[in-house]
């Protein structure tokens, strides 16, 4: 699976970072998505979002905002709340270790 994010999955102090939240939820569910940095900005017109990641996001979802999850079945899901809900509903088959999926 692929997770398209903005410039990374860093923490943003004192506010939510939807891309980070989406990745955390997927990892907590035992997934290890390929993280694709889309750069640009969701509010920019297409011409300023010329990276392949942004173009793919637009093609997949009809809009340019990230995060966007593309599941192994090819389903494209946004926004972060829906990705978090998807992760909770679809724990990785071999995870079986809820709470221990944070990379440690």
Ligand X SMILES: N[C@@H](CCC(=O)N[C@@H](CS)C(=O)NCC(=O)O)C(=O)O
Q: Which residues bind ligand X (CB under 6 A)?
A: 6, 17-19, 41-42, 65-67, 78-81
Q: Taking the complex as a whole, how short is the minimal distance between the CB of residue 40 and ligand X, in angstroms?
A: 6
Closer residue to ligand X (CB): 90 or 95:
90
Angle at 7 between CA 4 and CA 12, to 5 degrees: 110
Quote the least distance from Cβ 84 to ligand X, whole Å.
9
CB 55 within 8 A of CB 49: yes
Compute the C-alpha angle 27/90/14, nearest 5°.
Answer: 40
User: Minimum distance from CB of 99 to ligand X (Å)?
Assistant: 24
Taking the complex as a whole, the smallest distance from the CB of residue 80 to ligand X amounts, in Å, to 3
Sheet bearing 68-70, strands edge to edge:
34-37, 2-5, 68-70, 76-77
CB nearer ligand X, residue 32 or residue 81: 81
Q: Which is nearer to ligand X, 17 or 31 (CB)?
A: 17
Measured from the CB atom, the residue of 10 and 32 that comes closer to ligand X is 10
Count CB-CB contacts under 10 A for residue 24: 17
């Amino acid at each position: 699976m692929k997770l398209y994010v903005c410039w990374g999955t860093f923490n943003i102090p004192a506010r939510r970072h939807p891309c980070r939240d989406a990745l955390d939820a997927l990892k907590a569910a035992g997934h290890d998505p390929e993280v694709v940095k889309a750069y640009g900005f969701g509010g920019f017109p297409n011409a300023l979002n010329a990276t392949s990641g942004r173009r793919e996001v637009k093609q997949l979802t009809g809009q340019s905002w990230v995060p966007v999850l593309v599941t192994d079945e090819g389903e494209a899901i946004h926004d972060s709340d829906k990705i978090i809900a998807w992760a909770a509903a679809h724990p990785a088959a071999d995870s079986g270790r809820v709470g221990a999926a944070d990379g440690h």
